[in-house]
Amino acid sequence: MVDPICCRSGVVPVFPLPSVVLFPRTVLPLHVFEPRYRALVRDAVEEEGVIAISLLLPGWESNYGGDPPFHEIGTVGRIEGLEPLPNGLFNLRLVGLGRVSFGEIETKRGGYRIARIRWLGETPVDEGDPGIVSAKLDLLASHACLMNELVLEGGPSTVVDEHVSFETAVNGACANLPVEPRLRQRLLEENHLVERQRRGTAILNEVLERVLRLKATRAQEDGGIEIH
């Protein structure tokens, strides 16, 4: 479990987003431009330097300027690489620290919300267990294949780093899945890390199979065209 010393108050500002799910041990770049979330960043930096990311619930469009509801489970991240921009905007990186559940919520004077949090631990795994090692390597290989298929030709390719922890491998792959945000949210809400790996791997392999099938179909179609 994350050491709660990073937010001793037990209360964290919440930045709800319509399509982003932050996982622990991953990095999320953010461009902050809305006035209320610029205020959130300024206050967070002056206080404990952390922000919680949560996915907005369906129907948020009708009340985005107000207080649209968000999922009860999100991730607290530490602000790094803060870059103030003209007109009070910010670029920053948010480093995922740990999953949390949100309790009592209130709105601050700046227009953003804060929530009391409860840390959610990850189920420990034995990094030396052959089954865990094999599952991690399979996941890393599939993730690298998918990312390499999705990048433009000539772009940087993904390299498998077998030295990363099981948690980092699982959460990194889940965060990068090109699927609907609600599916990534379900993976975040899975309390058992091995089960998250199993479900994430299944989704990843299904997406990879579709990408490869589409690529093969397009190659056949291109090969069948006669040029005069």
Gap between the Cα atoms of 27 and 93, Å rounded: 6
> Quick one: pLDDT band at residue 110, thresholds 50, 70, 90?
confident
Each residue of 111-170: pLDDT tens digit? 999 999 999 988 899 999 999 999 999 999 999 998 888 875 554 555 567 889 999 999
Q: How far apart are CA 105 and CA 117, in angstroms?
A: 9
DSSP 130-198: HHHHHHHHHHHHHHHHHHHHHSPTTSPPP---TTS-HHHHHHHHHHT--S-HHHHHHHHH---HHHHHH
pTM: 0.88
pLDDT tens-digit readout, 166-219: 999 999 999 999 999 999 999 999 999 999 999 999 999 999 999 888 888 887
Mapping DSSP to helix (H, G, I), strand (E, B) and coil, where does residue 109 land? coil
Choose the weakest-confidence range: 1-5, 51-55, 174-178, 208-212.
1-5
CA distance 139 to 205: 9
Q: What is the DSSP letter of 59?
A: T
